[in-house]
Structure 1
């Protein structure tokens, strides 16, 4: 009788472990899909190879949007800024080469130390940056 109970317990444990494994696979797949979607919201490619000019334009755009630039590192291609308006919205922007004719600009935002997944702050930033990049390319001040 003890052998049957022990076998039943082992079988139940194996089945529950399989269920957990299947559930964790679904979670990983769901997470990676949402991560890919978030990355697409956070990134834009620009047809330029001038990283320094792009970084200066990113800084100006952040300032135009009310951010205070906390850190800018031309060697790393990153800029960080904070917007304090009753809350703490922090954006970190990286500018990296993409192929031989483009730069990839990626923005990461956090609100009160929580990652921002809402597309609206990214859309606002990239809309302003696209206008600024156009004006910079046309040499308009």
Structure 2
């Protein structure tokens, strides 16, 4: 039969040892908050235009230029969903909504294998192409 002191202190010692391995939860929360803010910033961009319809059409053209197939468009809601198939499948949902009288906020959200894409590169590529297309549209170059 085991010594009663060992039976009492062994679980306590194990719990203390495991708790020592845990990282500081406050640091984790602060790090997560900063990364979430950076991701939200990469996913959204404001454009100086009041034309939601033109913005949605330009979003569709931009997604197609980037190799996406447009799955769904709701012009009233300013919503576009598209899928890109290749080495991997990426689904992107983009919304355009007015902010004030003379701006449109475009927000993109991408998923890869049902997991949100946290890498900023796909968002930067999309928004760089969209900004260029909207600029060309605004100056009647296209």
**TM over 0.5: same fold?**
yes
Partner of 2:63: 62
1:1-141 mapped onto 2 (5 Å cutoff): 23-141=24-142
Secondary structure in structure 1 of the residue aligned to 2:81:
strand
For 1:139 and 1:57, locate their aligned partners in 2 and report how far apart those are by CA, in whole Å: 13
For 1:97 and 1:28, locate their aligned partners in 2 and report how far apart those are by CA, in whole Å: 32
For 1:39 and 1:92, locate their aligned partners in 2 and report how far apart those are by CA, in whole Å: 14
Deviation by residue 1:32-52 (Cα, 9 ceiling, x = unmatched): 221111011111110001111
Higher helix share: 1
Unaligned runs of 5+ in 1: none
Shift of 1:138: 1.5
Deviation by residue 1:95-136 (Cα, 9 ceiling, x = unmatched): 111222211111111112111111111111111101110111
Deviation by residue 1:5-28 (Cα, 9 ceiling, x = unmatched): 9xxx8xx99xx7xxx8x9444433
For 1:27 and 1:72, locate their aligned partners in 2 and report how far apart those are by CA, in whole Å: 38
Structure 2 length normalisation: TM-score?
0.79
Structure 1 length normalisation: TM-score?
0.80
What RMSD over aligned residues (CA atoms) do the two structures have, in Å?
A: 2.3
